[in-house]
Amino acid sequence: MYPLLPLQVFKLRYKMEQIKKKYGEGSSEIKETIMEAKKISETISKEGSQLFNNAEIDGDDLHRILLAVANLFEYLNTKYGDDEKLNEEVRNMTKTLYDPAVEQRGIKKGIEQGIEKGIEKGDIRAREEMVKEMLLDGESIVKIKKYSKLSEEEITEIKNKIKQ
C-alpha cells in the first residue's frame, strides 16, 4: 500500500499543474481536484484502518500510512489551494482513525505483556488479573486453571470477586 500513496499524489499533482496552467491558480477546477484529493485521502485512511482492525497491519504501519496521507494532502492543498480548514479536516480524520484503535490495542498489549512478566516472576496479582480477563472473556475454568497455574478454588474466589 505504501508505494501507491506517492503515485496518487503525483497523479493529482500533475493534474493540478495542468489545471493551473490552463485556468489559473484560484479556479474551480483546482478546488474540485483538491476535493478529489481529500476523497482519496479518506479512502486510503479508511482502508488502512480496516487493515489494522483486521490485524493485517500493525499500529506502526497504520500510523505511517495515516501520517503520509495527511502530509501528502497538506502538500497538495497548500501548494494549489491553500485551504487551512481542509488541512485540519484531513488531519482530524486521520487522527480520529488512528488514536482510538491503536490506543486500545496498545493498552491491551501492555496489559498482556505485564501479566506475562508478572506470571514469570510468580506475581499472584498478575495471575489474578489474567484470570479476571479470561473469565470476562468467557473462558472455561479448566482452560484458566491450565494457563494460570491456580487451583479451581482460587479461580472460583476470583470469579466471586468479579460478581461483587
Q: How many CB atoms lie within 10 A of CB 117?
A: 11
Q: What is the pLDDT along the chain (164 residues), one digit of tens a residue?
A: 556 666 777 788 888 889 988 988 788 888 898 898 888 888 888 888 888 888 888 877 888 888 888 888 888 888 888 788 888 888 887 777 766 555 555 545 555 655 555 555 456 677 778 888 888 888 888 888 877 778 888 888 888 888 76
Domain residue extents for the chain: 4-104, 122-163
Residues in the chain: 164
pLDDT at residue 98 in the model: 65
C-alpha cell at 69: 496521507
Question: At residue 123, what are phi and psi to the nearest 5 degrees?
Answer: -70, 110
Whether the Cβ atoms of residue 138 and residue 145 lie closer than 8 Å to each other: no
pTM: 0.55
